[in-house]
Amino acid sequence: MRQTAIRNAFEAFLKRRALKLTTQRRRIFDRAFETHEHFSAERLYRWLVDEPGTRVSRATVYRTLGLLVEGEFMHSLDAGRGELVYEHTAGHQHHDHMVCLSCGKIEEFVDPMIEELQLAACVRKGFELVDHDLRLLGYCKACRRTRSAMGTPAADETARAATPEEAPSAGE
Amino acid sequence: MRQTAIRNAFEAFLKRRALKLTTQRRRIFDRAFETHEHFSAERLYRWLVDEPGTRVSRATVYRTLGLLVEGEFMHSLDAGRGELVYEHTAGHQHHDHMVCLSCGKIEEFVDPMIEELQLAACVRKGFELVDHDLRLLGYCKACRRTRSAMGTPAADETARAATPEEAPSAGE
DNA sequence: GTCGTTGCAAAGCATTTGCAAGACT
DNA sequence: AGTCTTGCAAATGCTTTGCAACGAC
């Protein structure tokens, strides 16, 4: 399995922090890396509960996830719902997200030019860039289709401020 | 007062939604627009409590803030701490943010080129862009200075989650 | 054996909501 | 007068934490 390298990195990380490699941590780590999609802490917890293996508590899932983020093995992102979603930072280096306001799906994309411009903007402001988070909110291809098929003119307002009935203009 | 225009827009918005212009809503609106910085719901609530005027409950602050966001009078953004911060959308159209991981300060910036590239990326993916949120995380000029003066090495990951206990034996 | 860890349940937080009293239009 | 609103407090939903039992090193 090609996960050996990353697992070793994790074990090294634990060792460096004088933390122990417990059964739970291993299971959480493995399950999290097994998934190449975004998941919430709760989702991961459910997987661990439903699938066979050592019992793991929700608290430990949260704790370990936090550890993984600290160790840069995972990245967390707020997709707008009340919970954080996680994704591992294994192969793919960095990417930004398109979050569908309708189905919640998260697509990834990268644009080197955008990254570069961000850096340039930081230099201009004397800001030391550590990380960034770019989320494009809208409707994915599938939902667009559905919406137009349903004759939805523009999102219903419950979907956020997608279509306020006006745009206040301030005199400035 | 030059807030008349925007206040009128707010009143018009309420009218259109068959909502009433209550003393509380007016006070919340005014106080929120009086501030040209980012603030949390709690902060706004504190201001309203501390400053003289009609009593306003926390619940109403939240409710009204939600209204203001729906009406596009305010914009909310998750600055990484557990709470949303708000900013009015009066004159300045749209901008992105640089959030200082050390002092929490939020600087604004705009880069038309980035905006354009975002749109292009969406077109490529068949994604209908509604809104976006770009946050650059790092250290502001002031904090950079402080940090380097203190001999703080490059950004360590513990800075984000407000984890009080530092990694003691990590690589320093 | 020693600490770090776990699980549980309770606690925390920011935010939301049910409901009865109260205030705009 | 009739609704929309408010305030309160309880509820929510995600996440964190205290603590005693437990397990890795």
Domain boundaries, chain A: 1-92, 94-172
To the nearest whole Å, the CA of B169 is away from the closest chain A CA by 6
What pLDDT is recorded for position A64?
Answer: 97
**CATH class of domain segment(s) B1-92:** mainly alpha
Strand D bases near protein CB (under 7 Å) are 4-9, 13-18, 23-25
To the nearest whole Å, the CA of A106 is away from the closest chain B CA by 11
Bigger pLDDT: A56 vs B157: A56
Stretch B73-84: mean pLDDT, rounded?
87
Stretch B101-108: mean pLDDT, rounded?
86
Stretch B128-142: mean pLDDT, rounded?
91
As a rounded value in angstroms, the CA-to-C1' distance for A77 and D20 is 34
**CATH class of domain segment(s) A94-172:** alpha beta
For A20-168, where are the E strands, in sequence order? 39-40, 74-78, 84-88, 96-100, 106-109, 128-139
Instruction: Taking the CA atoms of A136, A70, A87 and A46 in sequence, report the sign of the dihedral they define.
Output: negative
Bigger pLDDT: A158 vs B70: B70
As a rounded value in angstroms, the CA-to-C1' distance for A24 and D22 is 13
Q: Using a pLDDT cut of 70, give the percent of chain B over it.
A: 82
Check pLDDT > 70 for residue B125.
yes
Q: Which of B114, A19, B70, B72 is nearest to B122 (CA)?
A: B114
Check pLDDT > 80 for residue B157.
no
Interface check A169 vs B, CB under 8 A: yes
Residue pair B133/B118 in contact by the 8 Å Cβ criterion:
no
CA separation, residue A172 to residues A1, B33, B124 (Å): 61, 14, 36
Stretch B31-37: mean pLDDT, rounded?
91
Check pLDDT > 70 for residue B20.
yes
Spans of chain A below 70 pLDDT: 1-3, 91-92, 147-172
Q: Which two tokens stand for residue A67?
A: 């550890």
What pLDDT is recorded for position B168?
Answer: 35
From chain A, the residues in CB contact with B161 under 8 A are 66, 69-70
Interface test with B, best of A68, A127, A157, A172 (most B CBs within 10 A): A127
B3 SS3 class: coil
Lowest-confidence range among A79-83, B35-39, B88-92?
B88-92
What pLDDT is recorded for position A81?
Answer: 77
Check pLDDT > 50 for residue B56.
yes
Can you give the C-alpha Rg of chain A in angstroms?
20
Interface check B91 vs A, CB under 8 A: yes
| Inter-chain touch B121–A131, beta carbons under 8 Å | no
Lowest-confidence range among A120-129, A154-163, B43-52, B142-151?
A154-163
Stretch B30-42: mean pLDDT, rounded?
93
Distance separating alpha carbons of residues A130 and A72, to the nearest angstrom: 13
Nucleotide nearest to A83 (CA to C1'): D14
Strand C bases near protein CB (under 7 Å) are 4-9, 13-18, 23-25
Which candidate from A117, A122, A144 shows the least CB-CB separation from B113?
Answer: A117
